[in-house]
Amino acid sequence: MKYDLHSHTTASDGELSPNALIARARNGDVDVLAITDHDTLAAYREIDRSALGALTLIPGTELSSQWQKNNVHIVGLNVPLECGAFADAIASQQRSRIERASIIADKLAKKGFTDILPGVLEKAGKGSIGRPHFAQQLLEIGAVKSLEEAFKKYLGTGKIGDVKQIWPQLDEVVGWIRDAGGTAVLAHPDKYRLTRSKLHRLTDDFISAGGEAIEVVSGKQDKVRTRELAKLCIEKNLLASCGSDFHQPGKFWAELGQHSPLPEECTPVWDRW
Ligand code: AMP
Ligand code: MN
Ligand code: MN
Ligand code: MN
């Protein structure tokens, strides 16, 4: 069975519509898929259930949080699609994204990129508005030569467009998922560029808040690193998750269903389901 428990669609910063993502997952022999758009469950409202075939869908979302000045992502799996409290939490994240977008636009205006917000909003469409939409707009107006450059100069960690104070604390976000009966998963631990001891502290705080699983595998990853993360997972008595973090076709390291295998010594998060 092939599980891909981390992916994005046009409901956030992904390139494919939810139905196109499902078609691609089926072509890629994925058996179980979680669509985990940033701070939204909107993709699930667009899905044509009759086109799922043998594919099992796990309701999910990737929530933004703050931990010691870091922007940490928590994937919620098996979250309820219709639940008052969880829907309220998602709605507040959406408001934060809109508020953050105008803060980022003001900051970029000070760099000489005025009136950038309308184009950004257009690119986000009905989806969750995020930094990749700013990167696309900066590219369109010729401020940068690539999306990568937009992150490197203006939007990436520590740059002016990296506004993270807006996000709720990690324990609150984990609490939303847990209270809604979902499983909280610490997403892509390598993306935060933490030292070994800081990653251990993050993991401990995540567990104290009610977190249950960690992405031992995120996309195609180095074998040595996978072994280290498996060790952390086992040491902390966590369940293991895996996913591609697919956003768009053409990125071999983050292709749907093409992530590295989960080490056998880990207990997969789906053992519980
Ligand atoms: P946001 O959710 O608005 O905070 O933006 C974070 C998203 O930006 C991530 O989920 C990635 O999809 C994307 N991203 C982050 N860093 C980079 C980068 N260096 N180059 C391209 N995309 C990036
Ligand atoms: Mn993203
Ligand atoms: Mn993420
Ligand atoms: Mn993601």
- Residue 265 pLDDT: 97
Instruction: For residues 115 and 195, give the distance between their C-alpha atoms in angstroms, rounded to a whole number.
Output: 39
Q: With b meaning 16 or more CB within 10 Å and e meaning fewer, what string describes 230-242?
A: bebbeeeebbbbb
> Which strands form 183-186's sheet, in the order they lie side by side?
3-4, 32-35, 56-67, 70-77, 183-186, 213-218, 239-243
pLDDT in tens, 84-121: 999 999 999 999 999 999 999 999 999 999 999 999 99
Average pLDDT, the chain: 97
Nearest listed ligand to the Cα of residue 146: 1
Mean pLDDT to the nearest integer, 242-262: 97
Smallest CA separation from ligand 1 atom 22, residue: 132
- Give residue 256's pLDDT band: very low, low, confident or very high (50, 70, 90): very high
Instruction: List C-alpha distances in Å: 249 to 14, 48, 156.
Output: 10, 21, 22
- Residue 212 pLDDT: 98
Q: Is the pLDDT of residue 264 over 90?
A: yes
- Residue 83 pLDDT: 86
DSSP per-residue string spanning 238-273: -EEEEE--B-STT-GGG-TT-SPPPPTTS-BGGGG-
Ligand 2 centroid – CA 7 distance (Å): 9
Mean pLDDT to the nearest integer, 156-172: 96
Q: Is the pLDDT of residue 28 over 90?
A: yes
Q: Is the pLDDT of residue 272 over 90?
A: no
Ligand 4 centroid – CA 159 distance (Å): 20
Smallest CA separation from ligand 1 atom 11, residue: 132
- Residue 5 pLDDT: 98
Q: Which residues surround ligand 4, an ion (CB under 5 A)?
A: 62, 245
pLDDT in tens, 181-239: 999 999 999 999 999 999 999 999 999 999 999 999 999 999 999 999 999 999 999 99
Nearest listed ligand to the Cα of residue 135: 1
Q: Is the pLDDT of residue 273 over 90?
A: no
Ligand 1 centroid – CA 267 distance (Å): 29
pTM above 0.95, yes or no: yes
Instruction: List C-alpha distances in Å: 176 to 71, 107, 133, 166.
Output: 17, 31, 27, 17
Q: Closest ligand 1 atom, CA of 129?
A: 3
pLDDT in tens, 46-78: 999 999 999 999 999 999 999 999 999 999 999
- Residue 151 pLDDT: 98
- Residue 222 pLDDT: 97
